[in-house]
């Protein structure tokens, strides 16, 4: 399970606000004219507004994430720091994640952060199937509702081992990668249930996704990944901004 940072942040804001309120209604009246505030009260007054601002931004606007694995190559690389739009799919209560206001529905081709059905851990994949879609994946080729999603080899040819393509997924052109030597039993034909989304990684032979643990329920959605803002290779490397920008 991932660290529940929203809950920790909310708890710190609540604790700081409580100390601040306690100082207003009681502690300040007990201090003499020459007494100073305690370090606890002073820190609560200085840090609580900052923490509250960060909590609001992360909960309702944008939240940063780091890409931990190669399941979304070639689109996202290990070490990419991304921004996730928290409001485009609707306003949700922080921590509890209940939707209180609808805005947009996920679209085929979106890159989405979510919790998979089998664990409370952040995942990032691409929306492949919408509610009601018939999704088929056979011999590394994706078919949606009977329509083959075109794969165009990059540079006009296939590589020997790692094959890279531009895939047309609905109205979205994006890059995918397959491994010619990978022998995986991941062929599938499934109808996406209502209120669910079928997710797949762009690195098709190195991704644990809806082919293995099923479609993602709407109430498990976190937000839409919209931009890379920084990249840092693992180890003692300095961060760079060469990959900063939006992506498909």
In percent, the amount of the chain with pLDDT more than 90 equals 70
Range of the domain at 181: 62-246
For residues 43 and 110, state if they share a domain: no
The set of residues, in sequence order, having a beta carbon less than 8 Å from that of 157 and lying 6+ positions away, is none
Q: Which two three-digit tokens encode residue 200?
A: 């797949």
**With contact defined as beta carbons under 8 Å apart, do 115 and 176 qualify?**
no
Residue pointed to by tokens 């979106």 = 110
For residues 93 and 15, state if they share a domain: no
| Number of structural domains the chain divides into | 2
Rg (CA), the chain: 23
| Among 32, 60, 88, residue at a domain's last position | 60
Active site residues: 71, 125
Q: Which two three-digit tokens encode residue 100?
A: 């209180």
SS3 229: strand
Q: Can you say whether the dihedral through the CA atoms of 138, 185, 194, 90 is positive or negative?
A: negative
For residues 68 and 101, state if they share a domain: yes
| Among 60, 85, 103, residue at a domain's last position | 60
pLDDT in the model for residue 86: 95
Q: How confident is the model at residue 97 (pLDDT cuts 50, 70, 90)?
A: confident
Q: How confident is the model at residue 37 (pLDDT cuts 50, 70, 90)?
A: confident
Could you tell me the pTM of the whole model?
A: 0.90
**With contact defined as beta carbons under 8 Å apart, do 207 and 228 qualify?**
no
- Mean pLDDT, range 204-213, rounded to an integer: 94
pLDDT in the model for residue 95: 87
For residue 217, report the phi and psi dihedrals to the nearest 5 degrees.
-70, 150
Mean pLDDT (the chain, rounded):
90
pLDDT in tens, 158-193: 556 788 999 999 889 999 999 888 777 778 999 999
Bigger pLDDT: 183 or 131?
131
pLDDT in the model for residue 214: 96
């Amino acid at each position: 399970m991932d660290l529940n940072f929203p809950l920790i942040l909310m708890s710190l804001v609540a604790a700081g606000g409580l100390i601040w309120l306690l100082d207003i209604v009681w502690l300040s009246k007990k201090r003499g004219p020459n007494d100073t505030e305690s370090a606890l009260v002073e820190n609560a007054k200085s840090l609580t507004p900052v923490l509250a601002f960060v909590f609001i931004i992360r909960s309702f606007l944008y939240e940063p994430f780091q890409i931990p694995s190669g399941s979304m190559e070639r689109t996202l690389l290990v070490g990419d720091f991304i921004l996730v739009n928290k409001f485009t799919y609707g306003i949700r209560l922080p921590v509890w994640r209940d939707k209180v206001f609808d805005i947009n529905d996920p679209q085929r081709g979106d890159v989405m952060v979510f919790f998979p059905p089998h664990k409370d851990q952040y995942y990032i994949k691409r929306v492949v199937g919408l509610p009601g879609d018939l999704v088929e994946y056979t011999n590394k080729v994706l078919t949606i509702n009977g329509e083959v999603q075109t794969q165009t080899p990059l540079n006009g040819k296939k590589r020997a081992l790692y094959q890279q393509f531009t895939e047309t997924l609905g109205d979205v052109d994006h890059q995918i990668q397959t491994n010619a030597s990978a022998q995986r039993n991941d062929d599938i034909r499934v109808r996406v249930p209502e209120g669910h989304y079928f997710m797949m990684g762009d690195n098709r032979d190195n991704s644990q996704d809806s082919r293995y643990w099923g479609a993602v329920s709407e109430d498990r959605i976190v937000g839409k990944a919209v931009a890379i803002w920084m990249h840092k290779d693992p180890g003692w490397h300095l961060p760079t901004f060469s990959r900063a920008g939006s992506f498909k």
